[in-house]
A and B are shown apart, each in its own frame.
Chain A
Amino acid sequence: MIEVTGVVKRYGAASVLNGATFTIGRAQLTTILGPSGCGKSTMLRCVNRLERFDAGTIRIGDVEVTGGVTPADDRDLVSRVREQVGLVFQNFNLFPHLTALGNVIEAPITVKRVDRAKAEEIGRYYLNRVGLSGKEQHYPAQLSGGQQQRVAIARALAMEPAVVMFDEPTSALDPKLVREVATLLRALDDLKKTLVVVSHDMEFARAISDQVIYFEGGRAVETGTAADVFERPSEPETRAFMAMLDHHADGERGRDAGAPS
């Protein structure tokens, strides 16, 4: 579904992505795992075209984006990319002046020109899917952090993209809510979406992922099933990271770090 080949992204002299190359399969849940500052969030923003990149290609379905495209070509390309890729932000970025339902139906109405009644039907369906029936008329400020995240997920799903990406979905939540998010993500399996989660939370990644990509130094170091990457890491960077986290987890045994059944 997503093919990333040799993507390079620089901010001035500092380079954040150094030839990242990986493939993400259709209708799978893939976690991009790695330490802070490894470029994984930037990778996500490049896929969604919130950031430009300097070299390489990203192919999403049948749309191919090449690094350093001129702005004129870009506009049409960007809208085709965003048609296929939804994004759930780390701090949700809900629209505070709109209700939960308003947040969800805004883009279908303005971008896809769906009529309001139809959009509300879609909106209610997805709010129900994320467990927020009855909260349609609440404003973001009247919802808890976990509920706000669910609105953000429903908002992304309502555009019916093939891919939904999540930037650090567990970072703003307490451990109990982390488990709920994991459950929710697995409960979306029947929608057959390609889900991409960026996280540094190993327990969370282990619990939810079909595929894990270990990211470090702006590159995908290792790709494999959750079991492969966690139990039998082959690259030295991956092994070092796992060892560090194992040690860390040992010290904090008993902390409810979100492994659902």
Chain B
Amino acid sequence: MTARRVWGIALVLVVLTAQGIGAQSPWERVRASCTLRVGIDATYPPFGMAEGRDYSGFDVDIARGLAREMGLAPEIINASFDGVFPALQNGTFDVVISAVTITPERQQTLLFSDPYIDAGQAIAVKKGSPIRSVDDLSGRTVGVQINTTAQFAMEKRTGINIAKYNTIDLALLDLQNGRVDAVASDGPVLRYMTRMTFTALTVAGGDYTAEQFGIVLAKNADDLRRAVNAALWRLQQSGEYARIYTTWFGEQQAAQSAASSSALAFDTGLVARTWTLFLYGVRLTAIMAMSSLLLGLPIGLGLALVRVQGHRLLAVPVAVYVELVRGTPLLVQILFIYFVLPSLGVNLPAYTSGMLALTLNSAAYMSEIIRAGIQSIDTGQMEAARALGMTAWQAMRRIILPQTFRRVVPPLTNEGIALLKDSSLVSVIGLTELARTGQELASRYAAPLTIWPLVAGMYLLLTFPLTRLAEYLERRWRPVTRGTE
């Protein structure tokens, strides 16, 4: 009876939610909110670049221009390219403007606006390379950015080894280092990057495909698409589009701003300019890791106690939970909570999703560490406590757990440090923590050799207090474990 009522309420909620979503069309919803939420992967010069919260690039300017024409305030949301389409589909963004090529495959699941720029595929090579066009690539290794049309194009050709990179600057750096023979990507990007920073590289031949970029919308957003197309048309008519184009692709502009930074040297000036931008990332990483540790520890302790002393009816589900968490990658858990739960009616913001995934994950690992610790305590300890009249719980709390914690400090410290570093995975759902900040700045300045050592140093600074705390605890408890005989 009770169970049936609960199901009934759940069903009503689902129906109401579905109706709530269906009641307003996408364009009505956007207009009511007065905001256009635009998803951009800001690691792709000159289309999208980030410097802290400060975004620039061709796509960013297009997004701002469109929003103005539509009478909306633009909200730029930075996310990794892997994550932009799922986030669009679950309603985190209204549109994606992120150098997305219009392809028939993508049109099956997504909606595209009219094209807003022509951008054929091209290849970059080292100056003086024998490779003169895309037809010379047979038997060569070619670098691409994951999931881009360049990757798809290379996969269609036979005899090419493909190396996939998270960001385009890493692919170009590897080309400069001689590990790949060419890099395939969008023509405008390659021309911009080889002129600006990778001056030892050049674009071989012209564009070998004719491609067009479109603004991406969710499948059901037909009316929003009409509004976007109208705004795009007005942008072109007013001459604003031409101005934006010249800003990013005009010859003199590129030559003028060809930065002094070099991809292959440690640039102390750049460190001085960018280190404050890391503070957001450091703060987010520290907050995420610390809270999920502090929440995970008591939860893990509870789970361990249930498995050691609890009733079978509770212990079995806990064992299943631990097995599920340990048996699946953290990345998949984060994606599941953020992208799959909304279809079950649980729609959590990115920050909460990331925190939840990290907490559930650390709780499972810590429960196993603590359980092993409890079971490593000699059974005579429990017997002695019980013989003195303590209840099982008193014995656990006063005798077994204090000894357990002394033993599990080193493995718990390891878990804490691993968690702190694994927290970088939350960048897939658009959270700009420390590693993602590094990725953005490394692309923005094409200076991986400056940015990544800086990122490493900041992770070290974050883990340092943890290891010091562990050392302190071990030292403090040492007299207890020392034998004098």
A residues contacting B by CB (< 8 A) are 48, 50, 79, 82-83, 86-87, 89, 91, 93-97, 106-107, 110-112, 139, 141-142, 144, 155-156, 159
Contact = CB atoms under 8 A, between A and B. Distances in A.
Given A95-B381, A97-B403, A159-B389, 4 more contacts: A48-B387, A91-B380, A97-B402, A112-B389
Given A110-B394, A111-B394, A79 B389 contact: yes
A261 B91 CA distance: 91
Contacts of B402: 97
Interface size grouping (class) on chain B: 20 to 34
A95 B384 contact: yes
Interface in B285-316: none
A113 to B, nearest CB: 11
Contacts of A83: 389
Contact of B479 (A91, A112, A139): A139
Q: Which 8 A-B pairs have the closest CB atoms?
A: A93-B384, A107-B388, A93-B380, A111-B389, A82-B389, A87-B387, A141-B483, A142-B484
B398 interface: yes
Contacts of B403: 95-97
Contacts of B381: 93, 95
Nearest to A84: B389
Nearest to B402: A97
B399 interface: yes
A77 B271 CA distance: 72
Interface string B387-402: 1111100100011001
Given A89-B380, A106-B398, A110-B394, A96 B481 contact: yes
Contact of A141 (B388, B398, B484): B484
Contact of A89 (B384, B394, B399, B477): B384
A85 to B, nearest CB: 8
B386 interface: yes
Interface of B: 378, 380-381, 383-391, 394, 398-399, 402-403, 406, 477, 479-485
B483 A159 contact: no
Given A139-B480, A144-B485, A155 B388 contact: yes
B383 A89 contact: yes
Given A89-B380, A93-B381, A97-B403, A107 B480 contact: no
Contacts of B391: 79
Nearest to A82: B389
B436 to A, nearest CB: 43
Contacts of A155: 388
Contacts of A89: 380, 383-384, 387
30 contacts: A50-B387, A82-B388, A83-B389, A87-B387, A89-B380, A89-B384, A91-B380, A93-B380, A93-B383, A95-B384, A96-B480, A97-B402, A97-B477, A97-B480, A106-B388, A106-B399, A110-B390, A110-B398, A111-B388, A111-B389, A111-B390, A112-B389, A139-B479, A139-B480, A141-B481, A141-B482, A142-B484, A144-B485, A159-B388, A159-B389
